[in-house]
Structure 1
Amino acid sequence: MGALGLTETDVRLCEAIAQREPAMRRDMARFVAIPTGHNHTPGLEEFRGLVLERLRALGASARFIPGEPAPGWLWGSAIAGETAIDIPPTVVCERPASGLPSVLIASHLDTVFAPDDPFREYAEAADGRTATGPGVVDMKGGIVIALHALEALEAAGVACSWSYLFNSDEERGSYHSEGALRAEAPRHAVGLCTEPALPGGELAVERGGSGQFMIEARGRSAHVGREFDKGVSAVTALAEALVRVGRMPDAGRGRVVSVGPLEGGSATNVVPDRARAWGNVRYPDERIGREIAADLDALATPEGACPAVEVRRSFNRPPKPLTPAVERLAGLARDSAAALDQRLPFARTGGVCDGNILQQAGLPTIDTLGVRGGGLHTPQEWIDLSSLVERCQLLALVVSRIAAGALAGG
């Protein structure tokens, strides 16, 4: 650790965090062992309870914000096969301090792995340098460092004002928690999300936007052998619409329009009267997002048409540009990393997270302050265990410096 730019309190804080490494590793094993896949309420409630217990021990009060229903047409929702969906709450734990800038830390409890997924064990490598397991970097490692950073700040007597928001549906688009995220953003000075670091350890300072869509075609069913001419194929209508969708992407302008999954028809001897396709879009800025939205909307047919084509869409993860306020916050993080002899290069990514929502709602946010690793969303997900201490020190130092007024007057 370099002494450049570190106060005596900073040094004591970072040394105390280094001593927490065994406890952080134990937390990793404990947290990863709890299955927190989409709609797995028992696991999500258990994990939420553990996090709440730790934060309440720091004197934080907790607010439970009821979740909102997601659009019923989304892939994975009831219209696409799920029979029951529990809508989880968003929880905000608050430990305010009068006269200090308020920091909102945000993490998500959910992972992409179902409770019966064969990838369910936490395992450290023989050399102790890495570990694998569901959600080790995305983002149970991020939750571990946030809890230990706040505990270390409290133990060191560093005065700071913080709230910790955690939701349970980020991996599915944060539709249940979007309202809570937007309502919470204006109450704070800055936002810090513990999404994992980019592959090279970079800090994402700029993100594109993302959206979901569904194209549904309706026709008229008929027996293929007896009354084929009376049928109108929804599959054919959908296919014709998808040909037009295939012409929408433009990599040079950052326009991404991807289709899949698809669904249509019930039997080979029946003209299909219904077919659907789901898709995802990515766009670098609001203007191109509006272009894609208009192109998708233009696929819809007039009312009463047969075949009929209907388009439903939700672009709920807006672009996250590098604003002057974000640049100052990112600069503070980079300077803090340098004081710790850590590198923190900046990068842009097409991935999206809750930081997109928070920033559009008015909160300058940086959102890859979590641990290093890779293999996100795959059975090879892994964490660089040395990053537990390093990223915990960085997060604690950033929070401490914000509290000390490092961003004042910006």
Structure 2
Amino acid sequence: MSLTVEEQGLIAPVERAPILARTLEWASINSGTGNLEGLAAMAGYLADAFAQLPGEVRLVDAAPVEKVDGRGQLHEVGHGRHLVLSVRPAAERRVILTGHMDTVYSREHPFQTCAWLDGDTLNGPGTADMKGGLSLMLAGLAAYEQDAPTLGYDVLINSDEETGSLSSAALIAQMAQGKLAALTYEPALPDGSMARARPGSGNYSAVVKGRSAHAGRNPQDGRNALVAASDLAMRLAAGVREGLSINPARIEGGAPNNTVPDLAILHFNLRPRTPALAEIAGALIDEAVAAVSAAHEVQIHLHGHVSRPPKPITPRTEALFGLVSQAATDLGQPMRWQDTGGVCDGNNIAACGVPVLDTMGALGGSIHSAQEFMIASSLDARARLTALVMHRLDRYGVPPA
């Protein structure tokens, strides 16, 4: 297949300069997940920008989320509002496009400004992940809207993707239902490679409660929560196997040197490649908790779950990639598809039975670090890809699996 005259006219108006200018403006706003003021400002900019598309823009309050603090207590964590745009909501066939406005860089982080590394490589916070992706998504949709479109779609831009989308998970699931396909604007690799299968991910906190005692006079009467938490970490780490990683990441708590500590909190992450391995991981955690509780005579309260289900590749996903890959090839942007260890909102969407391609954003790399970079020439290229993919989904739908 090659571009038709109609398709050539569709992508012709897409220009890099306005997409880049918008990306630079948005990257100048610190919207770390915990910076509620910055997220509110970012949501305002996004609402104004996406209002150029037909349909209703609204900001949705975040769902309540609780987190274990350093004392082992649950407390509510605030999150920014999520942006939703619904276009042609009565359309019989609908697509969902998703992205996130938050970044991993807090208000206090030293990485706050952009700098050009060369004529095409921009170093800046959130440029690739994913303010460039949001900007090009908008440009692609604006181009698509010039072509008498009939396909309906929802845009969801959440404020908490970088910390697991806990305050937006229900909204994602609600909006994904019944969709023909999903496009998510995580960054692609610098060579244009797209993410294929992804593992699941779960974050946990195990609150270990022991018994304090004097470390010199009667240590035998104490029950050392720190030692128990360390034992739990070792048992969990020993459960690593092919397709399942378990990372004990941090232990909080303890006591003065002359006191047997009665509180420790183990924080850990696990990543199962398949639903079956997620079940195995759950059983492994239960067994380790029971064994440590008995061996050390402590109480362990577990908080957390697998919030990102594993994302396997289905025949429908293969068919969607075929459509996107052909469109990219026709635009002179041949792409590869490879499995990855990362997770994103594409995991949540796939769990709803919707085929999703979740690296439709700008090309870039070194994300989540002060070396993050975005390739500027990918902005207009990927905007054209979005417009063409939406056009072909409108005209032909997802090919049969």
Could you say whether these structures have the same fold, taking a TM-score greater than 0.5 normalized by the shorter chain as the test? yes
Report the TM range for the smaller structure's normalisation. over 0.9
Residue matched to 1:37 = 32
Equivalences for residues 52-67 of structure 1 within 5 A? 52-67=47-62
Paired residues, number? 399
Residue matched to 1:207 = 198
Equivalences for residues 323-362 of structure 1 within 5 A? 323-362=314-353
2:85 is aligned with what amino acid? C
Where structure 2 has 5 or more consecutive residues not aligned to the other structure, the ranges are none
Q: Given that residues 88 and 176 in structure 1 are in contact (C-alpha distance below 8 angstroms), is that contact kept between their aligned partners in structure 2?
A: no
Per the TM alignment, residue 102 of structure 1 is displaced from its structure 2 partner at its CA by 1.1
Residue matched to 2:275 = 286
2:253 is aligned with what amino acid? G
Change (3 A) 1:40 1:81: farther
Per the TM alignment, residue 41 of structure 1 is displaced from its structure 2 partner at its CA by 1.3
Q: Distance in 2 between matches of 1:256 and 1:215?
A: 18
Per the TM alignment, residue 395 of structure 1 is displaced from its structure 2 partner at its CA by 1.2
Which stretch shows the higher mean deviation, 51-60 or 143-152?
Answer: 51-60
Q: Distance in 1 between matches of 2:5 and 2:72?
A: 57
Q: Deviations over 1:223-254 (max 9, x none)?
A: 2223323222111112222221121111xx21
Q: Distance in 1 between matches of 2:244 and 2:95?
A: 34
Per the TM alignment, residue 57 of structure 1 is displaced from its structure 2 partner at its CA by 2.3
Residue matched to 1:142 = 133
Q: Distance in 2 between matches of 1:97 and 1:168?
A: 23
The TM-score, its normalising length taken from structure 1, stands at 0.91
Q: Deviations over 1:124-173 (max 9, x none)?
A: 23x42110111111111110110111112224544432210111000000
Per the TM alignment, residue 403 of structure 1 is displaced from its structure 2 partner at its CA by 0.8
Residue matched to 1:268 = 257
Residue matched to 2:354 = 363
Residue matched to 2:8 = 11
Residue matched to 2:105 = 113
Which of 364, 367, 374 does residue 365 from structure 2 map onto?
A: 374
Q: Given that residues 70 and 252 in structure 2 are in contact (C-alpha distance below 8 angstroms), is that contact kept between their aligned partners in structure 1?
A: no
Q: Given that residues 82 and 157 in structure 2 are in contact (C-alpha distance below 8 angstroms), is that contact kept between their aligned partners in structure 1?
A: yes
Q: Distance in 2 between matches of 1:89 and 1:156?
A: 32
Which of 293, 306, 318 does residue 309 from structure 2 map onto?
A: 318
SS in 2 for 1:144: helix
SS in 2 for 1:72: strand
Per the TM alignment, residue 59 of structure 1 is displaced from its structure 2 partner at its CA by 2.2
Q: Distance in 2 between matches of 1:82 and 1:382?
A: 37
Change (3 A) 1:322 1:285: same
- Could you tell me the percent identity over the aligned residues? 31
Which of 229, 244, 260 does residue 238 from structure 1 map onto?
A: 229
Q: What RMSD in Å do the two structures reach over aligned CA positions?
A: 2.2
Which stretch shows the higher mean deviation, 370-379 or 44-53?
Answer: 44-53
Per the TM alignment, residue 101 of structure 1 is displaced from its structure 2 partner at its CA by 2.3
Q: Given that residues 72 and 265 in structure 2 are in contact (C-alpha distance below 8 angstroms), is that contact kept between their aligned partners in structure 1?
A: no
Where structure 1 has 5 or more consecutive residues not aligned to the other structure, the ranges are none
Q: Distance in 2 between matches of 1:200 and 1:281?
A: 29
Q: Given that residues 89 and 177 in structure 1 are in contact (C-alpha distance below 8 angstroms), is that contact kept between their aligned partners in structure 2?
A: no
SS in 2 for 1:260: strand
SS in 2 for 1:341: coil
Per the TM alignment, residue 56 of structure 1 is displaced from its structure 2 partner at its CA by 2.0
Q: Distance in 2 between matches of 1:13 and 1:362?
A: 30
Per the TM alignment, residue 83 of structure 1 is displaced from its structure 2 partner at its CA by 7.8
Q: Given that residues 137 and 381 in structure 1 are in contact (C-alpha distance below 8 angstroms), is that contact kept between their aligned partners in structure 2?
A: yes
Per the TM alignment, residue 329 of structure 1 is displaced from its structure 2 partner at its CA by 0.6
Equivalences for residues 148-297 of structure 1 within 5 A? 148-250=139-241, 253-297=242-286
Q: Which runs of 4+ in 1 moved over 4 A?
A: 77-84, 97-100, 156-159, 302-305
Q: Distance in 1 between matches of 2:55 and 2:19?
A: 21
Q: Distance in 1 between matches of 2:308 and 2:116?
A: 35
Change (3 A) 1:288 1:192: same
Which of 44, 55, 59 does residue 49 from structure 1 map onto?
A: 44
Q: Distance in 2 between matches of 1:310 and 1:116?
A: 32
The reply on whether 1:69 has 2:60 as its aligned counterpart is no
Q: Distance in 1 between matches of 2:71 and 2:178?
A: 36
Per the TM alignment, residue 99 of structure 1 is displaced from its structure 2 partner at its CA by 4.8
SS in 1 for 2:113: coil
Q: Given that residues 97 and 160 in structure 1 are in contact (C-alpha distance below 8 angstroms), is that contact kept between their aligned partners in structure 2?
A: no
Per the TM alignment, residue 409 of structure 1 is displaced from its structure 2 partner at its CA by 5.3
Change (3 A) 1:183 1:291: same
Q: Distance in 2 between matches of 1:202 and 1:296?
A: 35
Which stretch shows the higher mean deviation, 78-87 or 334-343?
Answer: 78-87
Which stretch shows the higher mean deviation, 289-298 or 217-226?
Answer: 217-226
Q: Distance in 2 between matches of 1:181 and 1:352?
A: 15
Per the TM alignment, residue 299 of structure 1 is displaced from its structure 2 partner at its CA by 2.0
SS in 1 for 2:156: strand
Q: Distance in 2 between matches of 1:86 and 1:54?
A: 25
Change (3 A) 1:239 1:97: closer
Q: Given that residues 78 and 85 in structure 1 are in contact (C-alpha distance below 8 angstroms), is that contact kept between their aligned partners in structure 2?
A: no
Change (3 A) 1:207 1:78: same
